[in-house]
Amino acid sequence: MRIAAISKALALMLSIGGGMTLIVLKPVTAEAQAPPSLAQVVALDECDPATFNAALGPGFCLNVTPFGSAVPLPALLASVAAGTPNPNWDFEPDSLTIQSRTILEVVNQGGEPHTFTEVAQFGGGFVPPANPPGESVVPECAGGFSNVKVASTRILAGSHLNITGLSKGTHLFQCCIHPWMHFQVTVK
């Protein structure tokens, strides 16, 4: 009914040279008219500025930790080496189902850089000490930031990345630095 009404409204009668010409414009569907909606994912971590910045450089970890929830770098790496990476390095939610054309907005609310990189299968990242035992780098993360696919999916602390144009089906994303940070989206 709605499309029929729009088509009718767009049917213009023009008089050219005394004759009548009917021009029917292509119907404008509701899908094309509606602005795309937004689905949000947050990246979280608890990096401890003192120990992370001592090892990785000034300003690497910008976490504000008013409630004292920072995790020192050695403790994080120990959790990885034990095969139980700290779960507070995380994408939330873990999974979403969205309509096609929905914009996936990933916001880094943590204190250090993350990537939100699409992978065929979850696996290791490009920082060997941050890979759980037995995991090696997946092809999509190989090369780190010298790989344009990784560099273009980096999200610095306090910034965001918008993912658009996902095809219908299931897509997997992971952080190429902290490879236990997983996200799955199903596009309907």
Give me the residues that bind Cu ion (CB under 5 A), please: 114, 175, 177-178, 181
Quote the least distance from Cβ 14 to Cu ion, whole Å: 59
H helices of the chain, in order, are 2-10, 30-33, 49-56, 73-81, 148-151
Quote the least distance from Cβ 31 to Cu ion, whole Å: 34
16 to 13, 21, 110: CA distances (angstroms):
10, 7, 64
Report how far residue 10's alpha carbon sits from residue 162's, in angstroms, rounded to the nearest whole number: 34
CA 56 to chain centre: 24
Quote the least distance from Cβ 176 to Cu ion, whole Å: 8
Return the number of the residue (7 or 53) whose C-beta is nearest Cu ion: 53
Return the number of the residue (80 or 175) whose C-beta is nearest Cu ion: 175
Return the number of the residue (76 or 181) whose C-beta is nearest Cu ion: 181
Return the number of the residue (76 or 177) whose C-beta is nearest Cu ion: 177
Quote the least distance from Cβ 50 to Cu ion, whole Å: 19
Report how far residue 75's alpha carbon sits from residue 123's, in angstroms, rounded to the nearest whole number: 22
DSSP annotation of 168: S
Quote the least distance from Cβ 35 to Cu ion, whole Å: 31
Which residues on neighbouring strands pair with residue 129, listed in sequence order?
A: none
Give the pair of three-digit tokens for residue 174.
């992971």
Return the number of the residue (7 or 88) whose C-beta is nearest Cu ion: 88
Give the pair of three-digit tokens for residue 177.
């630095």
